[in-house]
Structure 1
Amino acid sequence: MKDRSQPGRTARRSRASKLTALVTAAALVLAPAAVSAQENRGPPLLRDTEIEQLLREYTRPILRAAGLEKQNIQIVIINDPGFNAFVADGRRIFVNYGALMKSETPNQIIGVLAHETGHLAGGHLSKMREQLAQAQTQMIIAMLLGAGAMVAGSRSGPGSGLANAGAAAISGPQEMIRRSLLSYVRQQEENADRAGVKFLTATGQSAKGMYETFKRFTSESLFAARGADPYQQSHPMPAERVAALEELARSSPYWDKKDDPALQLRHDMMRAKTSAFMERQDTVYRRYPLSDNSLPARYAHAIATYLHGDLNSALAQIDGLIHLQPNNAYFYELRGQALLERGKPADAIAPLRKAVQLSNGAPLMEMLLGQALVASDNKAYTDEAITILRAAVAREKEAPIGYTQLAMAYGRKGDYAQADLASAQAAFLRGDNKTARDLASRAKTRFAVGTPGWVKADDIVSARPMPGQKNN
């Protein structure tokens, strides 16, 4: 598991911020300051082949039922321990790793993903933009009318009733418009609940997990919303929402259907892996005590040992896992990652080759193998590293590490034009646009005009920043 965020660990959230918030961009639009701050720093992302593959398998039938299977919807993992999932555009579902950790069964997180798919299928994002545009027009008109009344009132003398009426004409419509927008968002959430249950039923899955997830956090949400005006809530009041969802979910013929034991094991392995990489060592061992000899516990122990303990002990534990499941690509990946990060890249090559083979060429694993080949300092591996890394970045276009390793491989070969281009691509993906333009400009001087490399470099020089990036 890799943290693809900006340098530095995510700050601990307050207790209130960990409350359930299954939200859409519509709700986020109502808090522009928070959105602006996030856009400036970029979302802190986590990447892991094993977890991403499992989430793809969770969402594939849901997307098919929603008619979205050909839309290339991606699941993006956010480096945040809070329970949260949301959609912020029409092609990605964002889910905090905290939501994965706190979902005890596959069905629970699948229910959350079905709810978010309901937002995508309902076109809620584009519809909300229309509502915001209409609200903006209404607000402008209300402000103009109010300002006109205030001007007229000022001519009648200070403290006149007409001036006060003008102020009320501004504040009153604004509050009504805000309440109207919040009401619209609440309706979207209810529609997404219904759509999510529909998709689960269509795929022969229970909606119980979706209900359990909402119900589990009801008491916290009720505490946070105690005394709140229900018309000022962007989501339906929890008790009402959960009651409606329970009635709907229980009407499904699959209400009592259980998750497949093999899928439950994979889910448990995902949670153990997430805990071992993302939580404190003492927390990991409280969750998975040494007396626990289950496969997920052994997975967590092996990862925690490699991160915090003796490498040889970690390798022995990983080898024990491989003995139990000799065709598990993720165990070989873990062995290679442990060796690579402990300064033994040459020893990491063999297990990473096996991981790539067993995973049918997973791009993130290929990048890890390419990194080991480059770090081994053996020039005999240079061409192989370039071939593997080029294949990886062709399929995984938004991972800067692939281009960084590719630049190092080209540099070792003496191909400085390609090295500059790959470095520019890595900088651009990191959001460092000034460095990207400088490197791309230098690359252009090394390529013949009009060649593919020159064209790619020119594209970077003239490119606008990616969404969420600053134009330095």
Structure 2
Amino acid sequence: MLAGLMALLLVIPAVGPVQAQSRPISLLRDAETETLIRDYADPLFRAAGLDPAGIRVFLVNDDSINAFVAGGMRMFIHTGLLLRADNANQVIGVIAHETGHIAGAHLSRIQDELRNATIEQIIGMVLGGAAAAASGNAGAVVAGSSLGSEIARRNLLKYTRTMESAADQAGMSYLDATKQSSRGLLEFFGKLAGQEFLSEPRDPYLRTHPLTSDRIDSVQQHVDQSPFSAITDAPDLQARHQRMVAKLKGYLWPLSRVEQEYPPSDTSVPARYARAVALYRASQMQEAVKLMDSLLAEAPDDPYFLEQKGQILYDSGQLAAALPVYTQAYERAPQQTMIAMGLAQVEIGLEQPDFDLSAIRRLEEITRVEPRNSRVWYLLSVAYGRSGNLPMAHLALAEQAMAQGDPETAWGQAKRALEGFDTGSPGWLRANDVIGEAQQRLDRYEGP
């Protein structure tokens, strides 16, 4: 159920080990992948003195080898990094590095550095960037900047390079604290070395992080000295990593490419999983179900195999058959919000009053964990409406609009919801909160 339920677009300023980026990105959701990444990350967060519950990890649908942190306590990992990682330890090494950025509050400290620049220097940077964009000539950045702004720019980039080195050192300390090898981070930097000269300017002062060769040397020294360098991934962890990679390839690659890498002669679990997902994406539902059944014959209680089969059945219009499969998946992993949402979607699709009430209970639980999940609010609006609770249906539509960045629709739906609630009731209070939040956003859009 990776891309089927949710794909979001955000614009996020980022700082990461490859290069900063500021452009729309597509986020993917998948319960199995998210769980594995959290199992990689949470011990590192705790080693860094961070509360894992306070950090959100997102999967970015981007083929580049990258990961970054943004917005303080948010970590973003590209599918390109996961697909090219040979083992779990390489991904864990990158997460350790990014955890160093979070623990060091590096993003907020960059803002401090920008505030320390003079207005004239900042204007010089902005005008230089505008000139480069207009002319298509990167040299216009220097030509359009004063000497003072150029010095400030170089000082800022030097500061970010220092932060990258600090994040490397912090990450390796977290790996030692959790008795894991830093060799995966070293191997990851080796992967970056091949693309370094394609992705960054040659002038080391213009780099936003240290030369990859310098970082490789630093990590190599740590690997040579650490007592944990010879430790390898547990077989179960590596098996889960291979499953995750196979599943992602099944979702993101065309069927022909998947079958090249995982031919029918390959009967391993990752190979069958990848082919099943790829066949499903190619609308070859019957063949996909057969492969999922072969996997479930060997692991009948696996919630993610059950979820995937349920999704295939649902998307092929077999809702009655999907219900018991999704129910089994939910019973085995009730904490997985994506599985709970999938089950609720099937229940709503069956259009039976008892199932609507069950779906409402399930979806309301999800909103407490993911209050900005627009898909959940949409499903709730449908279930509330069919059960005759129109004020809650309008409120759910208002919440959906807020999650999608549409304050005007949110304001109107919350106003309609308000008319049906008793004064002072929880729904009335929440509708007023949404109206207030929507109005604040609208005021910001309109400006002074």
TM-score (norm 2): 0.88
* CA deviations over 1:193-240 (Å, ceiling 9, x no partner): 1111111011100000000001122022035447x2111111111222
SS of residue matched to 1:446: coil
Measure, in 2, the Cα distance between the counterparts of 1:449 and 1:324.
Answer: 56
Letter in 1 for 2:57: I
CA 1:421/1:319 → structure 2, altered by over 3 Å: closer, same or farther? Answer: same
Measure, in 2, the Cα distance between the counterparts of 1:224 and 1:141.
Answer: 27
- The answer (yes or no) to whether the contact 1:322–1:331 under 8 Å persists in 2 is yes
Measure, in 1, the Cα distance between the counterparts of 2:124 and 2:191.
Answer: 42
SS of residue matched to 2:335: coil
Match of 1:408 in 2: 382
Q: Which moved more, 1:99-108 or 1:64-73?
A: 64-73
Match of 2:128 in 1: none
Shift of 1:175: 0.7
SS of residue matched to 1:291: coil
Letter in 1 for 2:359: A
Superposition pairs of residues 76-225 of structure 1, within 5 angstroms: 76-136=58-118, 139=121, 171-225=146-200
CA 1:466/1:210 → structure 2, altered by over 3 Å: closer, same or farther? Answer: farther
The answer on 1:55 being equivalent to 2:27 is no
Measure, in 1, the Cα distance between the counterparts of 2:294 and 2:416.
Answer: 50
Match of 2:136 in 1: none
Q: Which moved more, 1:370-379 or 1:206-215?
A: 370-379
The one of 216, 220, 230 equivalent to 2:204 is: 230
Measure, in 1, the Cα distance between the counterparts of 2:224 and 2:321.
Answer: 54
Measure, in 1, the Cα distance between the counterparts of 2:279 and 2:423.
Answer: 52
- The answer (yes or no) to whether the contact 2:97–2:167 under 8 Å persists in 1 is yes
SS of residue matched to 1:2: coil
The one of 233, 253, 256 equivalent to 1:279 is: 253
Shift of 1:248: 2.0
* CA deviations over 1:393-413 (Å, ceiling 9, x no partner): 222222211111111111111
The answer on 1:380 being equivalent to 2:354 is yes
Match of 2:3 in 1: 2
Measure, in 2, the Cα distance between the counterparts of 1:182 and 1:170.
Answer: 15
Shift of 1:169: 12
CA 1:264/1:139 → structure 2, altered by over 3 Å: closer, same or farther? Answer: same
TM-score (norm 1): 0.84
Shift of 1:447: 1.1
Gaps of 5+ in 1: 8-19, 29-33, 144-166
CA 1:366/1:71 → structure 2, altered by over 3 Å: closer, same or farther? Answer: closer
* CA deviations over 1:38-60 (Å, ceiling 9, x no partner): 4xxxx421111111111111011
Gaps of 5+ in 2: 10-14, 126-141
Identity %: 35
When the two chains are superposed, the root-mean-square deviation of aligned CA atoms in Å is: 2.6
- The answer (yes or no) to whether the contact 1:21–1:83 under 8 Å persists in 2 is no
Shift of 1:466: 10
The one of 64, 73, 87 equivalent to 2:46 is: 64
CA 1:465/1:176 → structure 2, altered by over 3 Å: closer, same or farther? Answer: farther
- The answer (yes or no) to whether the contact 1:76–1:94 under 8 Å persists in 2 is yes
Measure, in 1, the Cα distance between the counterparts of 2:8 and 2:237.
Answer: 33
* CA deviations over 1:313-361 (Å, ceiling 9, x no partner): 2222111111111110001101111111111222211111111110133
